[in-house]
Structure 1
């Protein structure tokens, strides 16, 4: 180890090493918690009046509705094709696909990007409410009631809201991966 003259400053790397050493000393005194996670997390979104949550690993990203170009000869739920960082992103109106009519115009509209196997597609929804966390013990495997009938085959359970708490919602667990495998979803040609 080299000795440094009195008053000489540390290099940036030496400062980082010192910060790392001090952080490790602070953490060493903390109790270790190896209990499994007790929360389930997903991306909350709304279609019409129904609240859904998609599992974290099934949504690659969420973005504002990109400008897209219409594609002739496709099903009504295909909004168009957008350029997302040099990659073509087909944008599908999830509400129209489910038979509810087009997503309402507004600033809250968002696109949830699904990047699964060979499928890269954006799902246009009314609103994305960000990351939602639920106690794993509250998971109900049955679909919630009421539920959009056309969405039932993509729903894998729900997290019920507290009936005594104003504004509490029931969240249906919507699987974009199941949607991607549904016959007819990617068969968009007329």
Structure 2
């Protein structure tokens, strides 16, 4: 129970900071940091929408394994995508583990009702949080941005949610 309260407190703080960051029009290189399937990702603040606690989606038959179904989030239907599985991971998802995850909706400006399942919210990051960066490989999908390394040696992959929302594989949920 304490974990749920701590998660809700974190989500509230992050939502407040996200709103403040949007109001201050921070630099382009400001991200929401998340963890999914043991990997670390940076999502541009301007692409990220509201953060929701786990809400079990209604399964949709004959869809890709990474498409978990549709969920009613604040009165609107959102397609729920397991980010780790979509990016090629194979995480173990138990009911207990799912209760500690979050759904991150795409910003309404991107005009796609989708939410990403992420394992952990890791706060906000700016360019100053990293010591090195390298461009994505030439054959990487368009939605993969630079790869950043922080002072602890953790590698963070930048994901462009606008590009992801237009990526043909992301849009083709049928199996």
Question: TM-score normalized by structure 2?
Answer: 0.70
The answer (yes or no) to whether the contact 2:131–2:150 under 8 Å persists in 1 is no
Q: Which runs of 5+ in 1 are unaligned?
A: 1-36, 145-149
Q: What is the match of residue 142 of structure 1?
A: 135
Structure with the higher fraction of residues in helix conformation = 2
Q: In the alignment, is residue 122 of structure 1 matched against residue 115 of structure 2?
A: yes
Does structure 2 conserve the Cα–Cα contact (< 8 Å) formed by 1:47 and 1:103?
no
RMSD, matched Cα: 2.7
Deviations 1:62-94 (A, max 9, x none): 221113211112111111111112111111111
**Runs of at least 4 residues of structure 1 off by over 6 A?**
none
Correspondence list, 1:42-81, <5 A: 42-81=31-70
**Structure with the bigger percentage of strand:** 2
Once the two structures are TM-superposed, the CA of residue 143 in structure 1 deviates from its matched residue by: 3.1
* Contact 1:39–1:136 (CA under 8 A) maintained in structure 2: no
Structure 2 unaligned spans of 5+: 1-25
Using the TM superposition, give the Cα deviation of residue 54 of structure 1 relative to its aligned residue in structure 2, in angstroms: 0.5
The aligned runs of 1:87-106 (5 Å cut-off) are 87-102=76-91, 104-105=93-94, 106=97
Question: Do 2:31 and 2:126's aligned partners in 1 also have CA atoms closer than 8 Å?
Answer: yes
Distance in 2 between the 1:157 and 1:143 partners?
A: 5
Number of residue-to-residue matches in the alignment: 144
Q: Would you say the 8 A contact 2:59–2:70 is kept in 1?
A: yes
